[in-house]
Amino acid sequence: MISAVLNISVYKSLSQLISQLHGLVERVQRQAPIEEIDLHIAAVRSTLTAVQETIDTGLTGVGSLSQHLGWLRRGYQRNKPNEYKSDLNDLQGQDLAEVIHAVDSWAQTLLDRRLRDAIHRSWQSRQYENAVRDSFICLEEALRAAGQIDHSVGLSGDRLVSAVFSSDGPYMKSFPSDGFMGNLTTGERTGLQHLVRGALLLFRNATSHRSIQHSANEAENIIQLVNLCLRFLPPKAD
């Protein structure tokens, strides 16, 4: 149900939303006082707002979920279960499913497709050290493609970066001017080279030389750095 693609904070909020909705339904079913129902409805609305603000876009299902919360509260206050029974079903069914789908769809856009495919299996199995290692394999493959460097040449890490960022190489000669930071100056291109080199020398080398038990948060931070580096490299051809 929940994508393995990264964004831990929004998925924590989504998990909280699911738990809160189930808690609300359970309290409605056991006829808790209206004051308790109001508290749980407020909590659901607050978490829903947090999810919506995180993904910074319209969430399909938010309007209907909020509407059904209001109808549920009105019917519950009037003590008419037949009026809010369908609202309970919609909240747990279509409304929640639409919110989950919207969050998953948004999450798919966070990572470069190459990186998403590279780390999917490791991340899914919570092998975060492997996910970090896989992310740098992906970055090096993207660097080779950008620099038109055959894998058989045997370049990796620092030497690979030097070759790709060579002033007479194909990548620098045709450096894109329409990236998300526009046309980079010579100094900014040097900064990009240092960024990629530093990421490889620090995180890729450390993961290659010894076992590092990364937490999910630590792995996410490193993988997002790789994702940033990939944003400057030509996308994989379809």
Identify the CATH number of the domain in which residue 18 sits: 1.20.120
Q: What six digits make up the tokens of 33?
A: 């006082």
Number of domains in the chain: 2
Q: Within this chain, do residues 18 and 35 fall inside the same structural domain, yes or no?
A: yes
On whether residue 164 sits in a domain, the answer given is yes
Q: Within this chain, do residues 224 and 117 fall inside the same structural domain, yes or no?
A: yes
Q: Within this chain, do residues 142 and 101 fall inside the same structural domain, yes or no?
A: no
Q: Which is more confidently placed, 100 or 5?
A: 100
Phi, psi of 165 (to 5 degrees): -90, 10
pLDDT tens column, 117-169: 999 899 889 999 999 999 999 999 999 999 999 988 888 999 999 999 998 88
C-alpha torsion 62→65→66→68, nearest 10: 160
For 66, residues 6+ apart whose C-beta sits below 8 A from its C-beta are 45, 48
Q: Within this chain, do residues 101 and 180 fall inside the same structural domain, yes or no?
A: no
On whether residue 235 sits in a domain, the answer given is no
Last residue of a domain, one of 86, 107, 128: 107
Q: Within this chain, do residues 103 and 171 fall inside the same structural domain, yes or no?
A: no
Last residue of a domain, one of 80, 107, 134: 107
On whether residue 127 sits in a domain, the answer given is yes
On whether residue 3 sits in a domain, the answer given is no
Q: Within this chain, do residues 118 and 38 fall inside the same structural domain, yes or no?
A: no
Structural domain for 132, as ranges:
113-230
The mean of the pLDDT values for the chain is 88
Average pLDDT over residues 30-50: 94
pLDDT band (50, 70, 90) for residue 191: very high
Q: Within this chain, do residues 137 and 96 fall inside the same structural domain, yes or no?
A: no
pLDDT tens column, 22-35: 999 999 999 999 99
On whether residue 210 sits in a domain, the answer given is yes
Q: Whole-prediction pTM value? A: 0.68
Q: Percent of the chain scored above 70 by pLDDT?
A: 93
On whether residue 177 sits in a domain, the answer given is yes
Residue 74 pLDDT: 95
On whether residue 68 sits in a domain, the answer given is yes
179: which DSSP letter?
A: S
By C-alpha distance, which of 143, 140, 148 is closest to 208?
Answer: 140
**pLDDT for 1 beyond 50:** no
Residue 216 pLDDT: 87
By C-alpha distance, which of 45, 9, 10 is closest to 24?
Answer: 45
CA-CA distances (angstroms) from residue 102 to 10, 41, 56, 123, 227?
12, 21, 11, 21, 22
Q: Contact at 8 Å (CB) between 137 and 160? A: no
pLDDT band (50, 70, 90) for residue 52: confident
Q: Within this chain, do residues 18 and 98 fall inside the same structural domain, yes or no?
A: yes
**pLDDT for 5 beyond 50:** no
Q: For residues 226 and 137, what is the distance between their CA atoms, to the nearest angstrom?
A: 10
Q: Within this chain, do residues 181 and 135 fall inside the same structural domain, yes or no?
A: yes
